[in-house]
Amino acid sequence: MKVSITKEELMKALSIVSKGMSSRSTLPILSGILLSANGRELVFQTTDLDISIRCVATAFVEEEGSTVVPGKLFTNIVHSLPEAAVLITTDGDRVFMECMSSSFTLNTLNPNDFPHFPEVQPSQEAVLKTNLLAQMVKKVSKAVSHDESRAVLTGILLGLLARGYNQRETCLLGVYLHGLAGDLACQELGMESLLASDIIRYLSQAFKRLKE
């Protein structure tokens, strides 16, 4: 593999995929970042077997290939590099990084040992504006439980409800043992609004399910 990419593109990709690296696993491969160069793209992948993250960055690829680099060390090195193009090449089980007068050599892991990225075949799809989804998550995340003994309550329930022709609602629900928060966005003809009455009805249904 031989690829050239700007530090800016590297930093953007690493800031995203670093959230998927495992820091406690006994499997070294899960603390690494899978780099795959093909076409005009450098693909970054991480996983801790619960979360899998993929990010695609634009790069100049001279030779295609893939490798797994130590995630934390690789990220720290990129942070220290000057604002310039970074040349990444592989030779066997080593990767070489060059940026202006700086150069680094890292040992790598076998990309064939990296877990396959899960492929999802969606039965339903919903499109939300990024800022709207962020607002909804922010509101309900305050009610997410930190009690690992009831793992289901440490997550956020995402529901897609059909109300009628050209109208769909996306519901986010956060629950913990002593409280509950919900947010519902209705999209119709490109307009978003919050429906308080529907939220209340949806939450009451959720309470009934919790009591069962």
User: Is residue 76 scored above 50 in pLDDT?
Assistant: yes
Give the model's pLDDT for residue 132: 77
pTM above 0.85, yes or no: no
Burial label for 178, CB within 10 Å (0-12, 13-18, 19+), is exposed
Between 111 and 122, the more confident residue is 111
pLDDT digits (tens, 9 = 90+) for 132-180: 778 877 777 777 777 778 777 777 777 766 555 555 566 665 655 555 6
Q: How many Å apart are CA 210 and CA 206, to the nearest integer?
A: 6
User: Is residue 50 scored above 60 in pLDDT?
Assistant: yes
Q: How many Å apart are CA 38 and CA 47, to the nearest integer?
A: 21
Give the model's pLDDT for residue 108: 96
Give the model's pLDDT for residue 189: 36
